[in-house]
Structures are given as C-alpha cells and as structure tokens.
Amino acid sequence: MSKNKKDPIDEIIEVRRRLQGKFANDKTTINSSIIYHYTSPEGILGILTTHTLWLSEITYMNDESEITYTFDLLTDILTQNNDRICQAFKDSIEEKIQKRTQLPSNLFDYVNRDSIFVACFSTEQDELSLWNYYTKTGSMAGYNIGFKVDKLVEKVKSQLKVMHHFIYGKTICEKCKQESYLKEALEEYNLLYQKMTTEEDKEKVLKSLWGLIHVFSLFFKKEAFKNENEYRFVITEFTDILQKQNRAFQIKNRIQNSLIIPYIELDFDKDAVSVITTSPTIKQDYYKAGVESLLHQNEYHQTKVEISEIPLRY
C-alpha cells in the first residue's frame, strides 16, 4: 500500500472518533457539577441505606417512543436527502432501520442483543415537572439526591470490565441539533462508503455508522421532554458468551406495575452524595428532619438537606 494512501480501517476509525468525540463534548458539558436523581420516599430509603443506584433495562423506560424515535428521524432525513446519498448505502441503512424497529421480535430478544441499562438524573435541582412525575404518593412527598458527577463517574469506571461500554451525559431534545448530528454522520459515512472498493470494507463502514447512530439514540429525546434537563448513565453489556461469564454486574429483577424489569445495581461512595432536596409539600420541616435522621444513621456526614422553593398550590 502506498505511504500516502490511508488504510480504509484507519479512515473509518478517524471519522467515528471525530464525530463521536464532538457528540460526547456536547452532551457532557453542563453548568453544574451536581446531577439530581428524583425518587419516591421508598426510593430514597433504599438508595441511601444500601448506597446503590438501580439502572433499569432500557426496554422499560417510561417513554416508549424512545425506542424508535431516532430511527424514525433518520428515516425522514434519508428521504429528504435521497438525491445526495448513494442508493446502495441508503438501502443498507433502511434495511438496518427496519430490523432495529421491528417490534417486538428484536426488542425482546435478550439472547442475541446487547443488554443496555440506564440511570436517569436531571441537571435541575428543583424542577416542577419532575416533582409532579416522581411524587405520586398521597402526601405528594418526594425527594431528589444530588450526586457529584465526577465521583459517580469515577466509581462506575472502577467497577467496569472490558466487555462493558459506559457513556454518560445530558439528553439532547432540540430536533434541529439531532438532525444536524445525523446529517453530518450520513454525509461523512456516505463519502467513505463510496470510496471503499470491497464489500467487506463497505460493511465495516455501515457497522461503524450504525454504532454511532446507536449512541445517538441513547441520548435523543423528543422536544416535549426538554424541561426535564435529563442526564443519563448508560452501561451496555455485550452479548459475547465469554463476556457473560465475566459480568461486572449481576442482573436482578424487580416488579413495577406488574412487570418484571431487569436491572443492575451500581455502588456509590457516600461522599458522592452532596445534597438531598425535598419536594414541594406541606410540613416540609418534618420531611427535612426525617432525611437528616436517615443521613445521620447511615453516616452521610457531608450531605446537606434542602427544601424545594416551589410554592405548594391547591
């Protein structure tokens, strides 16, 4: 091979690294070093006494449209840019989209697909829409746990093995930004695809693109959810048999709304918990005192307790 001619694999890696790096910088840039996990009274009791967070299997996320949202968007972009995309490249992507969104056969194929687990946070400490969703008990009481991002990320990385893929950051709800990422990826990979001279190399281009779009799909949400300012931890466990024998996390199950939901547990250090916030409710001093007692009993010595500043209306 000529010294001036790049290896096809190197070109593919270079494009993937550049585009995914740009995306990573965007989604991990936030104005605060604290992220907030909203939960119920039962939730905070379990989290603080066991110092563990639960990451649920992505299939069971509350917004079912997330499963296909990015791929529906990708389909629209392919249609709009039909004249600028190589037909063979377009056909291959559309075939992959069809297989990916073919429910329920692919969605619930736990044997042959990767296991993806998600924990959800917010960059907002006192967001009314989240209080409304997560505080459903009769007293309308709920809490959020403010975690130090760097401490939590460091802890996750210390528990992972090579077969796990950990990505984290804020979700992206602006449709124009989502389309920009997808269009740029299609343009770059379309050029790469046309440069490849063998079917094997073309397949590698498609595989790399699909991996990038998969990453996008984990953080793209509809604009209706923008006010949540969601921040996610996503851990993927790959399907390889050898890797399954070396799991870093034991997959457990819980019952919610009569569904059996797979999840994994993530340990955290107590100094990762910066603040607990109580929801808008009556008798807030009682709720604050209860949390302070719980923190004292479980030796969270550096954690403060605050109350919501949102006025309670009837």
In tens, the pLDDT along 272-302 reads 999 999 999 888 899 999 999 999 999 999 9
pLDDT at 268: 96
Q: List Cβ<8 Å contacts ≥24 apart for 73-78.
A: 73/175, 73/178, 73/179, 73/182, 73/220, 74/182, 74/213, 77/179, 77/182, 77/183, 77/186, 78/186
pTM of the model: 0.89
| pLDDT above 80: residue 8 | yes
Is residue 139 in some structural domain? yes
In a domain, 314, yes or no: no
Q: What is the pLDDT of residue 241?
A: 40
Residue with tokens 């457990």: 252
pLDDT band per the 50, 70, 90 thresholds, residue 183: very high
Dist CA 303 CA 296 (whole Å): 9
Q: Residue 287 and residue 44: Cα distance in Å, rounded?
A: 12
Given pLDDT bands bounded at 50, 70 and 90, which one contains residue 150?
Answer: very high
Any domain includes 85 = yes
The per-residue pLDDT for 237 is: 77
What angle in degrees, to the nearest 10, is found between the helix axes of 87-100 and 66-80? 160
Specify if 167 maps to a domain: yes
User: What average pLDDT score do residues 242-255 get?
Assistant: 71
In a domain, 1, yes or no: no
The answer to whether residue 2 is domain-embedded is: no
**How many other β-carbons are positioned within 10 Å of the β-carbon of residue 91?**
12
In a domain, 3, yes or no: no
Range of the domain at 59: 8-307
Q: Which three-class secondary structure state does DSSP give residue 287?
A: helix
Q: In the structure, what pLDDT confidence band is assigned to residue 108 with cuts at 50, 70 and 90? A: low
Query: What burial letters (b/e) apply to 263-290, b meaning 16+ CB within 10 Å?
Result: bbebebeeebbbbbbbbbbeeeeebbeb
- Identity of the highest mean pLDDT range in 131-140, 150-159, 235-244, 294-303: 294-303
The number of domains in the chain is: 1
In a domain, 313, yes or no: no
Model confidence over 193-247: pLDDT tens digits?
A: 999 999 999 999 999 999 999 999 999 999 999 999 999 999 987 665 445 555 6
